[in-house]
Amino acid sequence: MTTGPLSKSMPLTTKLSHTAVFWIGFCVVMAVLIVAPLVLPEYWRRFLTEILIWGLLAMSSDILIGYTGMVSFGHSAFFGLGMYGAAAALLIVSPPNLWLAILFGLGGAAGAALFVAYFSTRLRDIYFAITTLIFSQIFYVIIFTWTEVTGGENGLIFSRPHFTIPFLYDTRFSTATLHWFVLAVVAGSYVLLRRIMQSPFGMVLQSIRENEARTRAIGYPVERYKIVAVMLSGLFAGLAGVLYAVQNQFAAAEFVFFTTSGDTVIFNVMGGIGTLVGPIVGAGFFQLIRELLSRIFGDQFPYLIPLGVIFIVMIIFLPQGLLGFARRWLNR
Amino acid sequence: MSGEAVNDVRSPANGRTAASVPVLKTELLTVRFGGLAALSKVNFEVKRDEVCAIIGPNGAGKSTFFNCLTGVLKPTSGRILFDGEDITGLPSNTISQKGIARSYQITNIMPNASALENVRIAAQSRRHAWNMISHHSAFPNINERAEAALRSVGLLDKADQLAANLSHGEQRNLEIGIALATEPTLLCLDEPTAGMSTAETHDTLQLVRRIAKNLTILIVEHDMQVVMELCHRITVLHYGEILADGTPEEIQRNSKVQEVYLKT
């Protein structure tokens, strides 16, 4: 692809082997995740599916945190709107339709993302973070208080849609098939997002992270790129919300509360920002430790205290996160 | 503070540029920071294919002038015309797209990207910038443009090195390479030799001379010696006003300029 002397310093063979190694690794992880529900007991099957969903949410926010350099505390809003959008589709249309739920969820998240993006991308750094946090809290308050529509405190309960391919196929989700469906969505999202982050557009986002003023000076309308980045991020966060709604058959206001956004940021930092897979690993790590702590010490145990200590230790000794060391390699 | 602004000898024609269409023109350009006039009523012109310099002691308003041209600052009053088009107050990305590129006095690159990535992102700003599907290295025209920019600043053999690992002089040249990769018609260099050793300064001046063959260049410089042999025309700024304007020889002979430079 490259011409001239550059192809000497970057021979095709190493490029190929890098790609090969990457996809072999990808296939191995996929194989493990595909086989997992066949060997895991019911509880852990659901647990793994949930990790993937949180991972998708964390991955979506990595687009902003890791690639564009904007820390968003608004992802609970996108996640929640995805969730309530799916709920709307599943409650209104009978029989509940999976694809319609996804469509509604994405629509809800896109609306919220457009609103948040339009106002908050004018600001930078901590001001951006605070603004997104405020917007997500506005959505929380609306959802929490508008009981007639959103169920308020009690949330909404609905039945799980079938997996359908129109006119061809219709089946109930089992925990295993739901896991595979979620896995397919999350893996597909990963491949797509990785490609987008390696595209010219993705390079502009990383350029904004590295040096915003210079990016503008070489001719990029930075605000427009940021708006699209927030929209993209919000869409995938909404997708995670839809999956969560389908998995758990309820939508609750507590997920729109800003602690969800906080968890998302923590997954990112633990797993390694700017890697896309890191946040999934971070989500898994976080959930596993929480699960272990409550298994050992019981449900009432204030698990956040030891988790906080672990988090601090990680920040000190592993500031790039679990996968941060592979950052350049993963993005090549 | 200092005396009245005198527009000294405006040398006619400047020799080689017969067409002499001004690429850049400022009319009564004024910038005030509170009560302080960083620039007052500056009328300035750059003709096509010319190499001009703006010199002046520290605080003369040189960088302010540059910041106005490139959209970082909005002038308080006055107009900036580029190719006859009013670009006053446009954002810097629009100005870049119109064809004015700049390098910075303080090195302003992307340290965590390779030299090639630094110029490729600049080359990419003119084409395929919104493409979300293809790999960024899959565009031969962008790669060629980026390589050409690296080659012209002599950094092609360091293409894969992280910008942070380049020497100061190389980073300064990469700075120019980034500007070149945007294919400008007017290149503004803000103290391109700042902080360089004598040898590096010499190399960079050679480099500027090389790229000046097919570009209009405007240099802001603190050190008069640097621009003497390089430029067709020199403008001296002092306390935000034009003190003198002419060929290097005229400027050297000018008594007011000598006074200002001897004082500081």
pLDDT value at residue B61:
86
Among A4, A201, A221, select the one facing B147 at the smallest CB separation: A4
Residue A13 has pLDDT above 60, yes or no: no
Q: How far apart are CA A65 and CA A62, in angstroms?
A: 5
Q: Answer yes or no: do B93 and A3 touch at CB < 8 A.
A: no
Q: How confident is the model at residue B19 (pLDDT cuts 50, 70, 90)?
A: low
pLDDT value at residue A294:
86
Other C-beta atoms closer than 10 Å to the C-beta of A118 total 13
Provide the terminal-to-terminal Cα distance of chain B, rounded to the nearest Å.
Answer: 15
Q: What is the mean pLDDT of residues A113-139?
A: 90
Per the DSSP assignment, residues forming a β-bridge with B186 are: B100, B216
B 137-166 near A (Cβ less than 8 A): 137-140, 142-144, 147, 156-157, 159-160
Q: How confident is the model at residue A168 (pLDDT cuts 50, 70, 90)?
A: confident
Helix (H) or strand (E) holding B244: strand B241-246
Q: How far apart are CA A285 and CA B7, in angstroms?
A: 71
Q: What is the mean pLDDT of residues A18-38?
A: 91
Residue B3 has pLDDT above 60, yes or no: no
| Residue partners of B70: CB distance under 8 A and separation at least 6 | A217, B92, B95, B96, B100, B102, B188
Q: How far apart are CA A99 and CA A314, in angstroms?
A: 40
Among A196, A217, A220, select the one facing B129 at the smallest CB separation: A220
- State the smallest CA–CA distance between residue A21 and chain B in angstroms: 18
pLDDT value at residue B264:
53
| Inter-chain contacts counted by CB atoms under 8 A, chains A and B | 116
- State the smallest CA–CA distance between residue A313 and chain B in angstroms: 26
pLDDT value at residue A234:
95
Q: Does B106 touch chain A (CB under 8 A)?
A: no
Per the model's pLDDT, the better-predicted residue between A299 and B172 turns out to be B172
pLDDT value at residue A5:
43
Q: How confident is the model at residue A132 (pLDDT cuts 50, 70, 90)?
A: very high
Owner of token pair 């390779």 = B114
Strands (E), chain A: 156-157, 163-165, 169-171, 250-251
Q: What is the mean pLDDT of residues A193-214?
A: 93
pLDDT value at residue A4:
42
Among A198, A204, A219, select the one facing B182 at the smallest CB separation: A219
pLDDT value at residue A170:
82
Q: How confident is the model at residue B222 (pLDDT cuts 50, 70, 90)?
A: confident
Contact in structure between A86 and A109 (CB atoms under 8 Å): no
Q: Answer yes or no: do A6 and B117 touch at CB < 8 A.
A: no
Contact in structure between A53 and A189 (CB atoms under 8 Å): no
Q: What is the mean pLDDT of residues A2-29?
A: 67
Q: How far apart are CA A178 and CA A161, in angstroms?
A: 11
Residue A271 has pLDDT above 50, yes or no: yes
pLDDT value at residue B166:
92
pLDDT value at residue A16:
65
Q: Tell me the ipTM for this assembly.
A: 0.84
Among B122, B126, B134, select the one facing A199 at the smallest CB separation: B134
Instruction: Give the range among A187-196, B81-90, B219-228 with minimum mean pLDDT.
Output: B219-228
Q: In what order do the strands lie in the sheet with B36-47?
A: B36-47, B22-33, B77-82, B85-86
Per the model's pLDDT, the better-predicted residue between B253 and A110 turns out to be A110
Q: What is the mean pLDDT of residues B143-165?
A: 92
Q: What is the pLDDT of residues A216-235, one digit of tens each?
A: 999 999 999 999 999 999 99
A276-A279-A281-A285 Cα dihedral, nearest 10 degrees: 180
For the ranges A81-85, A250-254, B237-241, the maximum mean pLDDT occurs at A81-85
Among A207, A221, A222, select the one facing B121 at the smallest CB separation: A207
Q: Does B135 touch chain A (CB under 8 A)?
A: yes
Chain mean pLDDT for chain A: 89
Task: Express as a percent the part of chain A with pLDDT over 90.
Answer: 61
- Residue B100: helix, strand or coil by DSSP? strand
Those residues of chain A whose CB sits closer than 8 Å to some CB in chain B are: 1-6, 9-10, 195-196, 198-204, 206-207, 210-211, 213-222
Q: How confident is the model at residue B258 (pLDDT cuts 50, 70, 90)?
A: confident
Q: How far apart are CA B126 and CA A220, in angstroms?
A: 9
Chain mean pLDDT for chain B: 85
- State the smallest CA–CA distance between residue A195 and chain B in angstroms: 6
Q: How confident is the model at residue A128 (pLDDT cuts 50, 70, 90)?
A: very high
Among B131, B137, B144, select the one facing A201 at the smallest CB separation: B131
Q: What is the mean pLDDT of residues B187-195?
A: 87
| Mutation to test the A interface, candidates B73, B96, B124, B182, most A Cβ within 10 Å | B124
Q: How confident is the model at residue A44 (pLDDT cuts 50, 70, 90)?
A: very high
Spell out the domains of chain B, with CATH numbers in brackets.
1-99+186-264 (3.40.50.300), 109-183 (no CATH)
Residues of chain A in contact with residue B70, where contact means CB-CB under 8 angstroms, are: 217
Q: Does B3 touch chain A (CB under 8 A)?
A: no
| Mutation to test the B interface, candidates A218, A220, A231, A331, most B Cβ within 10 Å | A218
Residue A184 has pLDDT above 90, yes or no: yes
Residues of chain B in contact with residue A195, where contact means CB-CB under 8 angstroms, are: 132-133, 135
Residue A317 corresponds to which amino acid?
A: F
Residues of chain A in contact with residue B188, where contact means CB-CB under 8 angstroms, are: none
Alpha helices for A154-211 (secondary structure H): 175-198, 200-210
pLDDT value at residue A15:
58
pLDDT value at residue A295:
86
- State the smallest CA–CA distance between residue A56 and chain B in angstroms: 19
CA A110 to chain centre: 14
Residue B228 has pLDDT above 70, yes or no: yes
Q: What is the mean pLDDT of residues A323-329?
A: 82
- State the smallest CA–CA distance between residue A222 and chain B in angstroms: 8
Q: Convert A79-116 to b/e letters by CB count within 10 Å (16 or more is b).
A: bbbbbbbbbbbbbeeeebbbebbbebbbbbbbebbebb
- State the smallest CA–CA distance between residue B143 and chain A in angstroms: 6
Per the DSSP assignment, residues forming a β-bridge with B47 are: B22
Residue A19 has pLDDT above 90, yes or no: no
Q: How confident is the model at residue B20 (pLDDT cuts 50, 70, 90)?
A: low
pLDDT value at residue B263:
63
Q: How far apart are CA A60 and CA A230, in angstroms?
A: 9
Tell me the three-class secondary structure of chain A, residue by residue.
Answer: CCCCCHHHHCCHHHHHHHHHHHHHHHHHHHHHHHHHHHHCCHHHHHHHHHHHHHHHHHHHHHHHHHHHCCCCCCHHHHHHHHHHHHHHHHHHCCCCEHHHHHHHHHHHHHHHHHHHHHHHCCCCHHHHHHHHHHHHHHHHHHHHHCHHHHCHHHCEECCCCEEEECCCEEECCCHHHHHHHHHHHHHHHHHHHHHHHHCHHHHHHHHHHHCHHHHHHCCCCHHHHHHHHHHHHHHHHHHHHHHHHHHHCEECHHHCCHHHHHHHHHHHHHHCCCCCHHHHHHHHHHHHHHHHHHHHHCCCCCCHHHHHHHHHHHHHHCCCCCCHHHHHHHCC
Q: Answer yes or no: do A196 and B132 touch at CB < 8 A.
A: yes
Each domain of chain A, given as residue ranges in start order, spans 39-252
Task: Express as a percent the part of chain A with pLDDT over 70.
Answer: 95
Residue A121 has pLDDT above 90, yes or no: no
Residues of chain A in contact with residue B101, where contact means CB-CB under 8 angstroms, are: 218
Q: Answer yes or no: do B133 and A199 touch at CB < 8 A.
A: yes
Instruction: Give the range among A87-91, B50-54, B192-196 with minimum mean pLDDT.
Output: B192-196
Chain A residue closest to B108 (CA)? A214
Owner of token pair 């390098």 = B103
| Residue partners of B113: CB distance under 8 A and separation at least 6 | A206, A207, A210, B121, B162, B163
Among B121, B122, B143, select the one facing A3 at the smallest CB separation: B143
Q: How far apart are CA A160 and CA B136, in angstroms?
A: 41
Residues of chain B in contact with residue A198, where contact means CB-CB under 8 angstroms, are: 135-136
